[in-house]
Structure 1
Amino acid sequence: MYAQHAGTSSSSTGINMNINNRPVTSQLNKTQSSSQQDTSLQQSGQWKKGKWTSQEDQLLRDTVQEIGPDGVKDWLLVAKRVPNRSHKQCRERWTNHLCPQIRKQQWTEEEKRTLVKSWRKFSFQRNITK
């Protein structure tokens, strides 16, 4: 998976693969306690919802570059520097929209074959372990 920027490890997804820097599935939230904290803060109205401004995007880019240019692992630290946005919002904004390594073009036939082959392999392995 695209674990480098997602803040996840191969153990949290069960799959550790990289197909030309494409996030294959939605990201997993590893830290339940921080997620619960985010939920309570969001319910209190502290987190901003909706569209990100260009200033927020730039602040997120700068913060990611400063904290972890080779792959951020601590999204809670990033969120502390981006006002009114949760660690989950920051991680998702970066991994889905801002990360310069994410390709947004159509998948090639070779990439599609690699994805299907990997899915079959790991799906089969998962069924065996159940």
Structure 2
Amino acid sequence: MDKKRLILLIILLLAIVLIVLGVKGNVFKENRQNMELRSSGDDNSHWFHLSGVVVEKTFDTLLIELNEKEESSLFFDTTKVSLDCTKCKGDLEQVSEGNVIKFYFFKYNIDGETVKIERIVR
């Protein structure tokens, strides 16, 4: 009986080790796929940035006149853009009309001439 129990215990431990290694391998595979997606620089994982002069400031929006030297024409057909600053209210407190700012956004947050931005830098 002791040999049978010892063999069953060894088989059980071996099965547990194989299961743990299989789960760990799947986690590494998912992490590697996520890192490859981020390093590829697709539009869903890349912050874009533009700059411009603040024309008008309201509660949580800014009207910006974009710098024409930048790549703003790749994103917008107009030179004035409305920024939805609900995610960056702390940064918004330091901005006033006439300031030149740089703002960061994801491409999928552009809705016509309105952009939900992630961060403002003065």
TM over 0.5: no
TM-score of the pair, normalised by structure 2 = 0.19
Bigger Rg over Cα:
2
Select the structure that is richer in strand.
2
Bigger RCO of structures 1 and 2 (CA < 8 A, at least 6 apart): 1
The two structures have a TM-score, normalised by structure 1, of 0.18
